[in-house]
Amino acid sequence: MNRFEELEDSYGVAAFQKMPLTLVRGKGSLVWDAEGKEYIDFMTGYGVALVGHANDLVIKAIAQQASSLITCHGSFYNDARAELFERLAKIAPRGLGKALLTNSGTETVEAAIKLARRHTGRKKIVSMKGGFHGKTYGSLSATWNRKYRDPFVPLLDGFEFADYGDPESLERLVGQDTAAVLAEPIQGESGILVPPEGYFRQVREVCDRAGALLILDEIQTGLGRTGKMWASEHWGVVPDIMTVSKALGGGVPVGAALTRDDIASSLKGGEHTSTFAGNPLSCAAASAALDFIVENDLPARAREKGKVMKDGLTRIASGHKLAREVRGLGLMLALQTRVDIHSLLLAAEERGAIFAYSGRETFRFLPALVIDDDQIRRGLQILEGAIGEEEKRRFQQD
Ligand SMILES: Cc1ncc(COP(=O)(O)O)c(C=O)c1O
């Protein structure tokens, strides 16, 4: 254990389950630890470093903004914030030209829930079994996993869960009292679960019949990750509110709830503000990240590199007993196995690649969209090596 690990463990609340690795530097798809060892990063902070670590455009924007104005409360106008609003409106799905800025994913979901309740005057929020929306009280109330919920009851009233992928289950829960249906287009925490074709169009219809809003949580899927700017585009569905965060700031904390004019105007001045929301530093970083995504057509790159990676994973899955299934779209991919992958994650780290969980038995791959073929090939080699070793150990023991 190095000095940094000792310090974090001594003085930090152990809120995170840690991997034994101290990361000190990053560039593109690569990160380095405190001893200078290099890793290919397929986790990117759960999809945050989508434009790559230390993206040059983002670095420049942050440096320039830091030297002119770092903080500016939302009760004043600001040039960097105005520029971000304009960029968001340009890439937003049709009609969602208004944005409410936040500082994180969970806060963006809170904002979306408040907008929906305020606009409809209704209370009920229907989210999905298996869904994940964050860990503050509103978003946690819409999150399915009991491991996150049970220690913190009572949660908020008025939240119910439908079976993900089953429109009839949703129909049974959604009625005249429903403010909104809240769902991830592809479930990220529960194993990269892609819904059946046509499902979200049916969800849209259920909402429209009941006069309920549709909130799509694109915090993990958005900004090109799945091969389209928004994952909901795969099914031609436009929500009433969309939540965006993670990759938005090029690594800097920021989020945005995108919505329509009529919904935005339900909120009166002062009803939902936050000191740091829309601060110039994160706005400048976000504008740079969005420019990079658009100018380099990263959604197309996610499709192209996603195919290379998915083909490789499928080949690995077909040759190994421990592997079960490959899932996902673009560069939001998963390999489900038959075992707890903790030791496999450690073995991969040892060999120079960082992968993430999506449930105990599933690898989640959310690399930077700037990853190249050679980095994908090396990452897959490391993954296959770790799986092969694990199989040898298990089958020798059997
Ligand atoms: C779909 C989705 N919604 C919300 C969140 C919460 O975001 P944050 O961790 O920034 O609060 C996450 C984070 O993983 C997420 O994947």
All structural domains of the chain, each given as residue ranges with its CATH number in brackets, are 3-54+297-397 (3.90.1150.10), 56-295 (3.40.640.10)
Distance from the alpha carbon of residue 138 to the mean position of ligand 1, in angstroms = 13
The percentage of the chain sitting over the pLDDT mark of 70, rounded to a whole number, equals: 99
Distance 332 CA to ligand 1 centre (A): 15
List all residues 6 or more positions away from 137 whose beta carbon is below 8 Å from its beta carbon. 152, 155, 156
What spacing in Å lies between the alpha carbon of 67 and ligand 1's midpoint? 31
| Probe residue for ligand 1, chosen from 50, 132, 164, 221 as the CB with the greatest number of ligand atoms within 8 Å | 132
Q: What is the mean pLDDT of residues 196-219?
A: 98
Question: What would the mean pLDDT of 283-292 be, rounded to a whole number?
Answer: 99
Burial of 314: CB neighbours in 10 Å, binned 0-12, 13-18, 19+: middle
pLDDT tens, residue by residue, 227-250: 999 999 999 999 999 999 999 999
- pLDDT bucket at 397, cuts 50 / 70 / 90: low
Model pLDDT, residue 4: 97
| pLDDT band, residue 396 (cuts 50/70/90) | confident
pLDDT at 298: 98
Active-site residues, by number, are 132, 217, 246
* Distance from the alpha carbon of residue 364 to the mean position of ligand 1, in angstroms: 15
357 lines ligand 1 (CB under 6 A): no
pLDDT tens digits for range 69-89: 999 999 999 999 999 999 999
CA distance 145 to 212: 24
Are 323 and 316 within 8 A, CB to CB?
A: yes
Strands of the sheet with 124-128, listed across from one edge? 98-102, 255-259, 241-244, 213-217, 178-183, 124-128, 159-162
Nearest CA owner, ligand 1 atom 16: 220
pLDDT digits (tens, 9 = 90+) for 315-337: 999 999 999 999 999 999 999 99
Closest CA to 247 of 104, 83, 383, 98: 104
Q: Which of 69, 364, 42, 108 has its CA nearest to residue 249?
A: 108
Ligand 1 atom with the smallest distance to the CA of 46 is: 14
- The CA R_g of the chain, rounded to the nearest whole Å, is 21
- pLDDT at residue 398 in the model: 57
Write down the pLDDT at residue 329: 98
* Tens-digit pLDDT profile for residues 244-268: 999 999 999 999 999 999 999 999 9
Is the pTM higher than 0.95? The answer reads yes
pLDDT digits (tens, 9 = 90+) for 264-287: 999 999 999 999 999 999 999 999
What was the pLDDT predicted at 395? 80
Residue 352 has pLDDT above 60, yes or no: yes
Count Cβ atoms within 10 A of the Cβ of residue 301 and give its class: 0-12 exposed, 13-18 middle, 19 or more buried: buried
With a 6 Å cutoff on the Cβ, whether 226 touches ligand 1 is no
